[in-house]
Amino acid sequence: MTSRWDNNKQMITLPLPTEFSFLENTKYLSNAPNECLIRIDDGRVYKAISLEQVPIIVEVSVGCEQENGLAVRLLGNNQAALCESVRDAAVRYVRDWFDLDTDLQPFYQLAKTDKLLSGSVDSFYGLRNMGIPDLFEALCWGIIGQQINLAFAYTLKRRFVEAFGQYVEHDGERYWLFPTPVDIASLQVEDITKLKMSTKKSEYLIGVAQLMVEGKLSKEQLLGIGDHKKIEKLLVQIRGIGPWTANYVLMRCLRIPTAFPIDDVGLHNAIKYVTGAEAKPTKVEILQLAEGWKNWESYATFYLWRLLY
DNA sequence: GTCCAGGATGGGT
DNA sequence: ACCCATCATGGA
């Protein structure tokens, strides 16, 4: 299998890690109700992203020649698609998005005998923590999702994206790009409350966008800090980002393996579902249940969430 | 109509 | 450090 760019076919095939199921990942993506940033058609996943200021559509599918390869194509077919640095950035994005560089074997080993995880890892074997590589998108999605049901959260995200984002057209389909910090930083609160977002969330979104535009907050900076607790402490100081949102971003964007949104209602419901308990688990109970998850708290949460979809 | 949802804040003990 | 009212809208 080739890991080099094929200029004729405009694609690259990435070798896959062993514990990987493309089907499980697409099933996970398909379950998102009203998702506006991803299109799935005929087993292929499409997403528009901006690479080096250039909007482009990424198509991901299982390789046709080698079933254990992940085929990445760039659509939109402008000159940008031919530029080597853009191609490399697209490949990095997909590796990050599908979390191809994590060896899941230790997780599956510990999950086998875990009373909460054993069923889930069996059902969803090969599922990856599908990420949100863009920090601004991850922060906004966390803020939008606070304290409302998921269906409404997806509706709000769609309105937000379609009001302030750009789109690329290809074969008669629109592929929306998540708005950039620049798109949002100069908005007035009323511009966002019009979408039925709460006043506070509108303020939070603008505030985060301004921090990023001012260069006071970036993914590179957070990754450079490295330590879970230090990053969390920094994020929680930002207005609108509490422990839940911070850990959500640590998990979905920064890929800190110990990220653990312990206050999450979905996690509570998943635990109730597995244990059969009537009452919501207490924080102490959750920590006890999670004692065997050291360094895999993030993946454990992701797999438990999956039970609810 | 009621309850609650991928929580966070600011004020109070 | 805990407790609590408040936010705000829509899904079930």
- Cα A56 from Cα A7, distance rounded (Å): 17
pLDDT at A82: 67
Strand C: which nucleotides have any atom within 7 A of a protein Cβ? 7-12
Question: pLDDT per residue over A225-281, tens digit each?
Answer: 999 999 999 999 999 999 999 999 999 999 999 999 999 999 999 999 999 999 999
- Residue A62's SS3 state is strand
- Cα A178 from Cα A47, distance rounded (Å): 10
Question: pLDDT per residue over A143-160, tens digit each?
Answer: 999 999 999 999 999 999
- Cα A152 from Cα A138, distance rounded (Å): 17
DSSP H or E stretch at residue A139: helix A135-144
pLDDT at A7: 74
Domains and CATH numbers, chain A: 11-101 (3.30.310.20), 103-131+257-309 (1.10.1670.40), 135-252 (1.10.340.30)
- Cα A21 from Cα A69, distance rounded (Å): 11
- Residue A35's SS3 state is coil
pLDDT at A32: 87
A269 touches strand C (CB under 7 A): no
Cβ atoms of A213 and A205 within 8 Å: the answer is: no
- Average pLDDT over chain A reads 94
Catalytic residue among A99, A114, A134, A264: A264
The Å distance, CA of A238 to C1' of B10, is 15
Question: pLDDT per residue over A33-44, tens digit each?
Answer: 799 999 999 999
A31 touches strand B (CB under 7 A): no
A218 touches strand B (CB under 7 A): no
A264 is catalytic: yes
A236-to-A52, A199, A243, A283 alpha-carbon distances in Å:
29, 19, 6, 19
